[in-house]
Amino acid sequence: MRIMAIDYGDERIGLAVSDLTGTLCGDAWTMNEWNMERAAERICEEAKAREVERFVLGLPKNMDGSEGPRAEKSRQFAAMLTERSGLEVRLWDERRSSIEAHAILHASGKKEKKHRKVVDAVAASLILEGYLGSGMR
């Protein structure tokens, strides 16, 4: 089962897709889109082209586990994806994924200015790896 992970943001969206067996993270990229409806449409087109069978959407929680406005926006986006694609959307606690993504980029020698272009793709990869490693398929 091919799975697509999404790190949803207001301007940039990180996307990562597993291999066909749902074991490893394959492609990861960033999509620039600020309009939620257009973003959902573009993601659904990518999912169809890549034969994705499930979405895993990052759910931004506060460090104490509570949910704020960003989490509500992610829940709205999840509902929109399900409605447009007919695919299941699993919400995944993404606390610290962006912090970890920045740390990975820093450790690989990327300059801080260049992080912005790829950090969301790395965060999506971390969401996907966390989900795949959890055995919650």
56 CB contacts (<8 Å, ≥6 apart)? 3, 4, 5, 6, 89, 90, 91, 92, 127, 128, 131
Q: Tell which wins on pLDDT, 102 or 15.
A: 15
For the segment 84-133, what is each residue's pLDDT rounded down to a tens digit? 999 999 999 886 666 665 566 667 666 665 556 677 888 899 999 989 98
What residues pair up with 55 in beta bridges, in sequence order?
A: 4, 89
CATH number, domain with residue 121: 3.30.420.140
More confident residue, 114 or 9: 9
Query: Domain tally for the chain?
Result: 1
Q: Which two tokens stand for residue 128?
A: 């996907």
Confidence at residue 104, expressed as pLDDT on a 0 to 100 scale: 65
> pLDDT, tens digit, for every residue of 33-65?
999 999 999 999 999 999 999 999 999 888 788
109, burial (CB in 10 Å: exposed 0-12, middle 13-18, buried 19+): exposed
- State which residues form the domain around 119: 3-134
Look at residues 102, 125, 99, 97 and name the one whose alpha carbon lies nearest to residue 112. Answer: 102
CB-based burial label for 17 (10 Å; 0-12, 13-18, 19+): buried
Position 101 scores a pLDDT of 59
